[in-house]
Amino acid sequence: MVVAACVGVAASAALHVAAPPPTRTVPVVVTAHAVQAGAALERSDVRVARVPPELAPTGAATAVSGVAGATVAVPLEGGTPLVAGVLAPRDVHGPAGTVVAAVRFADPAAARLLSAGMRVDVVAATAEGATGRTVARRALVLPTPAEAVRSRTGSGGLLGGGGGDGEMPPVLLAVQPDEATSVAGASASALLSAIVVP
């Protein structure tokens, strides 16, 4: 009986040693379902997912309280992490009836020439050089929050003009809600450029 007990204890200890340590995870706020561009996020629109640290997107929100009430800049599928660029800055708004879209153009140098108040057509073209298609017309260039510019360029300029070599922050545009969907779809597979219009 004593021998059997000892064998049982030894087997239990062996299993405990062989068991892998629990995987470390970190919280990431993701959409609970599909959300349209221009929608103000409510707590029911988001949830906290736990993922391994190496899979957590850089800059992703980690608490629901940090995104509640924020405006979605581009259409989002369910399960999308809430990172910089998918939410419009709280202090930036477009004209009534428009939504704010964060657009990263293919040519950062050209993007730096844009300034708030300009109107641009957004054109999407493939890397193979196919004829571009217009995905947004007369979009209004909005001010970029000063803190975003300073963190990327070290200057207080509107869109980083004269800044350093850091990555250009997205250009914020006021577009029609249906155009926001087109811009978001094009940005995944095409190169976006801006044509200044009167």
Q: What is the pLDDT of residue 113?
A: 92
Of 64, 88, 112, which residue constitutes the final position of a domain? 88
Q: How many domains does the chain have?
A: 2
Are residues 136 and 53 part of one domain? Answer: no
**How many residues in total does the chain contain?**
198
Of 69, 88, 107, which residue constitutes the final position of a domain? 88
Q: What is the pLDDT of residues 49-68, one digit of tens each?
A: 999 999 898 888 999 988 88
Are residues 164 and 138 part of one domain? Answer: yes
Low-confidence ranges of the chain (pLDDT < 50): 2-3, 5-7, 9-10, 147-166
User: Does 165 fall in a domain?
Assistant: yes
State the CATH number of the domain containing residue 62.
3.90.1210.10
Measure the CA–CA gap between 184 and 164, rounded to whole angstroms: 27
Q: What is the pLDDT of residue 183?
A: 87
Segments forming the whole domain that contains residue 198: 89-198
User: Does 157 fall in a domain?
Assistant: yes
Are residues 96 and 114 part of one domain? Answer: yes
Are residues 49 and 145 part of one domain? Answer: no
Q: What is the pLDDT of residue 45?
A: 93
Measure the CA–CA gap between 33 and 158, rounded to whole angstroms: 34
Q: Supply the pTM of this predicted model.
A: 0.57
Are residues 143 and 63 part of one domain? Answer: no
Are residues 112 and 81 part of one domain? Answer: no
Are residues 84 and 169 part of one domain? Answer: no
Q: What is the pLDDT of residue 2?
A: 47
User: Does 7 fall in a domain?
Assistant: no
